[in-house]
Structure 1
Amino acid sequence: MEIEIKLKQLLKERNIKQYQLSEMTGLTTRTISELVNNQIERIPKQAICKIAEVLEIEDIREIIDFEK
């Protein structure tokens, strides 16, 4: 079982580009890119909180979930 970061899907559904999310959250484009492409080993809690706040997400499972 692995953790899946569903940010790519969320951005596509909301028609938001990675650079736009970077500007909205104050996170670097590199951090956003690594999260979108599931290339990050440790998920930064602050980054996920900022993304959830900006995208008005109340359920963390909309951003991350388990992949079987």
Structure 2
Amino acid sequence: MPKRVSVKIHKLTQNKGISLRERSCLTDIRHATLSELANQKRQNINFQPIERIAEAFGIKDIREIIDVIDVKE
């Protein structure tokens, strides 16, 4: 089965009880960038936003931010 990388921004915002806009301010990442990541609109992922999210929220396990999932054909 084919795989793809999933960025779990929506899940993180729900778990932390904050909006994408608030997360944007806290991480100094453009709101548009976070929105594209959250909605799986990016073909390439730069690690800098992932690192900023992890740092801002004390995340030590990258699997809280990204995951590899099966794609249904």
TM range (shorter): over 0.9
What runs of 5+ residues in structure 1 fail to find an aligned partner?
none
Give the paired residue count. 68
Aligned residue number for residue 22 of structure 1 = 24
What runs of 5+ residues in structure 2 fail to find an aligned partner?
none
How far the C-alpha of 1:65 sits from its partner, in A, is 0.7
How far the C-alpha of 1:50 sits from its partner, in A, is 0.1
Letter matched to residue 21 of structure 2: Y
Please give the TM-score of this superposition, normalised by the length of structure 1: 0.94
Q: CA RMSD in A?
A: 0.7
Please give the TM-score of this superposition, normalised by the length of structure 2: 0.88
1:46 pairs with one of 30, 45, 48: 48
Moved >3 Å (runs of 4+) = none
Larger Cα Rg: Structure 1 or Structure 2?
Answer: 2
How far the C-alpha of 1:36 sits from its partner, in A, is 1.1
What are the equivalent positions in structure 2 for 1:1-68 lying under 5 Å apart? 1-68=3-70
Q: 2:40, 2:57 → 1: CA distance?
A: 19
Letter matched to residue 53 of structure 1: E
